[in-house]
Amino acid sequence: MSRIKPQPGIMDIELYVGGKSSIEGLTEVVKLSSNENPFGNSDIVKQAHVKTGHNLHRYPNTDHAGLRTAIANLHNLDVDRIICGVGSDEILQFVTQAYAGVGDEVIYPEHGFSMYPILARMVGAKPVKVAERERIVDVDAILAACTKKTKIVFIANPANPTGTMIDAKEVARLADGLPKGVILVHDGAYTEYVEGHDGGAKLVEEKDNVIMTRTFSKIYGLGGLRVGWGYGPNEIIDVLNRLRQPFNLSSIQLTVAEAAVQDQAWVEKCRTENTRLRAWLGEALAELGVPSDPSMANFILARFADEEESVACDNYLKSQGLIVRRVGGYGLPNCLRITVGDEASCRRVVHAVGQFKDGAE
């Protein structure tokens, strides 16, 4: 037997499984399983992508100054407190690597993003799952779960896969109630879908134990590029930058993301359409007997009578060329997460669920 062994916790990691993108035997499918922007990205972004191709022989800059400045100007933030990464996932990984280890505990909500326990185990820490209240983050339950071993608390707000969120006062109450030395990570991957939501930026300015993260993978339509960023206290950002590889982002990633920041008209268009279609989709499915909580993201969590019905509906949707996401792994076996697509896709989903319901009866 090999004497080579990985660090504690690594072999306990259950590999992350992304949303499916194909159905065997079908060539024409609609993918609604990964919360991607159905409208893609803007012409300005596409032009920037093409232009960048002329300089691929050059190394990218290591300080990400252009992108950080664009983000800071847009959101009125301190540029020196911004860090960029390979998706927001990399920022979350930096935080975990820097502030948790063997013997420590990392708290996350019951239905929280599945990367949180993976990140904890990656550094040998113990992931602690805390119950939610009707699929909403329960601040009191999180505070009660904190111990002397707690180092990090992760919450996504709006949350994935539920789409629910807690207000700024509740997030602030959580930050204030944490034991000294515990970091609150406010994961804001879906921030841009909420009109007027700052993703926790004001809280970061007021507290020394909060870091927020954002991504270009959702409303900006750049999931294929993997670019994200974080904003936090100078002390924490300085630590994270010591973990960051100097060339973690390519020239293409940096240039295209910066162009995306400049095109806020596109972001507004996508947010408006998502809001309209999300409301229609939720109401139409509710009329078919498939309720969902009010979602603040670009998906809805459709609830069925039980796991058997949700699996049967998912199988029927596949037969119709529609790919959605089962979320049993998130503790929601009776639910399907359905990305808000374009209008045609939303109507196809409702029509198919209606057919399934008629057939089930």
250 & 323 share domain: no
Per-10-residue mean pLDDT of the chain, 361 residues long, equals 78 75 76 95 94 88 96 98 97 97 97 94 97 97 98 97 97 97 97 95 96 97 96 97 95 96 97 98 98 97 97 96 95 98 97 91 55
Phi/psi of residue 347, nearest 5 degrees = -70, -35
- The residue from 237, 263, 289 where one domain ends is 263
pLDDT of residue 14: 77
What range defines the domain where residue 313 resides?
A: 10-40+265-360
Residues 6+ apart with CB under 8 A from 9: 102, 120, 121, 122, 123, 124, 125
Q: Is residue 65 part of a domain?
A: yes
In this prediction, residue 361 carries a pLDDT of 55
Same domain? For 203 and 279 the reply is no
Asked whether residue 226 falls in the same domain as residue 309, the answer is: no
Calpha distance 165→155 (Å, rounded): 10
Task: Give the pairing of strands 325-326 and 150-156.
Answer: unpaired
C-alpha distance from residue 285 to each of 28, 29, 75, 121, 289 (Å): 23, 21, 36, 38, 7
What is the predicted pLDDT for the residue at 172?
A: 97
Is 5 a domain residue? no
Are 292 and 218 part of one and the same domain?
no
Q: Could you tell me the CATH number of the domain that includes residue 191?
A: 3.40.640.10
Single-letter residue type at 343: E
The count of C-alpha atoms lying within 13 angstroms of the C-alpha of 345, restricted to the half-sphere facing its C-beta, is 24
CATH of the domain at 25: 3.90.1150.10
61 and 163 belong to one structural domain: yes
In a domain, 45, yes or no: no
Residues 133 and 274 reside in one and the same domain: no
Residues 32 and 66 in one domain: no
- Contact by Cβ (8 Å): 304, 313: yes
The reported pLDDT for the residue numbered 316 is 96
N-terminal to C-terminal alpha carbon distance within the chain: 57
What does residue 335 show for φ and ψ, rounded to 5 degrees?
Answer: -125, 155
Count of domains in the chain? 2
Q: What is the three-class DSSP state of 55?
A: helix
pLDDT score for 5:
82
Query: What integer pLDDT is reported at residue 168 of this predicted model?
Result: 95
Other Cβ atoms less than 10 A from the Cβ of 60: the count is 19
